[in-house]
């Protein structure tokens, strides 16, 4: 599997505090079948992560994984908060993009469709695609699963996270996540893992539930086929 939303790098945000905790998380991801991780440290007012530092942490941590025999390939982008997506210079957003093609934007509980639409348009005008992270946590999406359909039709992607599907974020979020899955609106599935014990990976459990409900092909689409295209910088057209 390819995990397109993970706070694996140590000491950057609210993920692992140190290399030992990050290694424990990496082992857990590998045990669940993850072979490639897109590291997405927060970039927001609360966590104004410096991208060059993220790149340095990636370079320092990869040899630690290899020495420990953990076979995970890593790359780095960011999980950009909505306010940062609006106010940050496009050059800085591009630095934090995925393959120069996609920016992962966090959908918050109180994010409005209008605000998400404005972010999408800003990025689109700069030639960058938008991936909305955990839209199932957004109350507007919970009320109306198709509210972001116009953005998807124009090229945006929706990235659900495994904890939502297994009920870790409450019944409303769980129900919204499954509605997005069942109606074919979900494009990607990430772990949103922050640690081996705290906000740990639930990918295997979520994938098992999806397979039982909709079949293995849907799991492959969410965790291998579309993630590979995203990491290769391919659009959603």
For 82-109, how does the pLDDT look when each residue is reduced to its tens digit (9 = 90+)? 999 999 999 999 999 999 999 999 999 9
d(CA 222, CA 155): 16
Asked: is 2-231 a CATH 3.90.1170.50 domain? The reply is no
- Residue 237 pLDDT more than 70? no
Q: Where are the beta strands (DSSP E) in the chain?
A: 2-6, 36-39, 42-43, 73-76, 79-80, 102-106, 129-133, 157-161, 188-190
What share of the chain in percent tops pLDDT 90? 96
Mean per-residue pLDDT, 152-161? 98
For 52-75, how does the pLDDT look when each residue is reduced to its tens digit (9 = 90+)? 999 999 999 999 999 999 999 999
Mean per-residue pLDDT, 117-144? 98
d(CA 108, CA 135): 7
- Residue 236 pLDDT more than 80? no
For 9-30, how does the pLDDT look when each residue is reduced to its tens digit (9 = 90+)? 999 999 999 999 999 999 999 9
Three-state secondary structure readout of 157-173: EEEEEHHHHCCCCCHHH
């Amino acid at each position: 599997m390819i995990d397109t939303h993970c706070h694996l790098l140590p000491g950057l945000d609210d993920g692992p505090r140190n290399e030992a905790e990050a290694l424990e998380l990496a082992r857990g991801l590998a045990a669940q079948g993850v072979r490639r991780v897109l590291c997405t440290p927060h970039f927001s007012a609360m966590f104004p992560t410096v991208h060059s530092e993220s790149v340095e942490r990636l370079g320092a941590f990869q040899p630690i994984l290899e020495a420990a025999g953990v076979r995970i390939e890593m790359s780095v982008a960011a999980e950009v908060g909505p306010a940062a997506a609006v106010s940050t210079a496009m050059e800085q957003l591009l630095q934090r993009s995925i393959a120069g093609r996609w920016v992962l934007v966090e959908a918050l509980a109180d994010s409005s469709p209008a605000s998400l639409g404005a972010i999408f348009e800003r990025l689109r005008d700069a030639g960058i695609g938008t991936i909305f992270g955990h839209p199932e946590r957004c109350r507007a999406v919970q009320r109306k699963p198709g509210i972001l359909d116009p953005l998807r039709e124009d090229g945006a992607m929706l990235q659900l996270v495994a904890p939502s599907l297994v009920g870790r974020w409450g019944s409303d979020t769980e129900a919204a996540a499954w509605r997005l899955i069942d109606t074919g609106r979900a494009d990607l599935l990430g772990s949103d893992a922050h640690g081996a014990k705290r906000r740990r990976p639930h990918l295997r459990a979520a994938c098992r539930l999806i397979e039982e409900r909709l079949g293995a092909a849907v799991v492959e689409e969410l965790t291998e086929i579309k993630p590979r295209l995203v990491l290769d910088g391919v659009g959603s057209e």
